[in-house]
Amino acid sequence: MIQENEIMMFLIGLGVLIFVLGSRSKLKRICSSGTLFLAFYLAFGGWAFTVLEGFLWNRLLNFMEHACYAGSSIMLALWAGKSFRNRKGQAQ
Write the pLDDT tens digit of every residue in 45-70: 999 999 999 899 999 999 999 999 99
Query: Given this model, what pLDDT does residue 88 score?
Result: 63
Where do the H-state alpha helices sit in the chain? 4-22, 24-27, 33-52, 58-91
Query: In terms of Cα–Cα distance, which of 81, 69, 59 is closest to 9?
Result: 69
pLDDT of 92 above 50: no
How would residue 35 be classed by pLDDT, with cut points 50, 70 and 90?
very high
